[in-house]
Amino acid sequence: MNLREVFRTALAAARANLLPGLLLQCLMAVFLSAYISHEGTRRFLAEVATFKREAGYSFAFVSYVLSAALLPELLRIAFFQSGRPSRTNLWNFLTAAPAWGAMGVVVDAFYRCQNAWFGTGNGWEILLPKIFVDQFLFSPFFSNPLMIAYFLWRDAQFSRTARGHIFCTSFLREKLLPVQVAGWCIWIPGVALVYFMHPLLQLPVAVLIQCFWVLIFTTLGSEKTEPKPRFSADSSARKLPFIFRRRRK
């Protein structure tokens, strides 16, 4: 693998995601300000936290299905297919929903582990270790590789022969690295906000950020044509639809 190519790809991914990242960070700053200073926002989030506690892991499963599997297809239909759904949209949703739902449960469990390991406060001595473990261990070595590999396999119609193309040296350079760099642009400040919140609000806030992420990258990454099945959504496994566009020959 050419190391210069790897860094060039990473730099291109960072540049491509600079403006969307800044937009999302501004939205997160507005959300945090509302949480700190607006009583109505705090009351609403307290009700969300209560609902999450009662629902347990099912909240994580359903919320990830809605934000990472259903929302991208609805956006694609509304903005790029003139409001006309197709069988491709149904295929995308049915094959994405179980994977994203399962990842939602994993992420919820991971957040609980982080709180057990480092505590539940929001001081920097607690936030920094959580951000490091999330963005430099969990994301690049578990969630992103797993989800990218799954959706590449999905795009190949779950063919056995596709596995040889997924687990190869080009996988790191062409797929994982651009997704990871783009994810850092969005999710390093994103998880800082997540871990700042009360433990019961961490997953709902992550899902909220993911919705904006999906909105931005579905809009930027989709073409105004009938899309082929492809990976769509954020995060951390957290999603990057435009990375998975099939290259034009």
17-21 long-range contacts, CB within 8 A, separation 24+ = 17/181, 17/182, 17/185, 17/186, 18/185, 20/185, 20/186, 20/216, 20/217, 20/220, 21/185, 21/186, 21/189
- 209: nearest Cα among 181, 189, 231: 189
Q: Which residue has the higher pLDDT, 55 or 171?
A: 55
Query: What mean pLDDT is predicted for residues 102-109?
Result: 95
Determine the average pLDDT of the residues in 5-25: 69
pLDDT confidence tier of residue 233, bands split at 50, 70 and 90 = very low
Give the per-residue pLDDT at 41: 86
What is the C-alpha separation between 13 and 144, in angstroms, rounded?
15
Instruction: Give the contacts of 178 (CB within 8 A, at least 6 positions apart).
Output: 9, 10, 12, 13, 240, 243
**By CB neighbour count within 10 A (0-12 exposed, 13-18 middle, 19+ buried), where does 33 fall?**
exposed
pLDDT given at position 249: 41
pLDDT bracket for residue 216 (50, 70, 90): low
Give dist(CA 180, CA 243) in Å, integer.
11
By the 10 Å C-beta count (0-12 exposed, 13-18 middle, 19+ buried), 208 is classed as buried
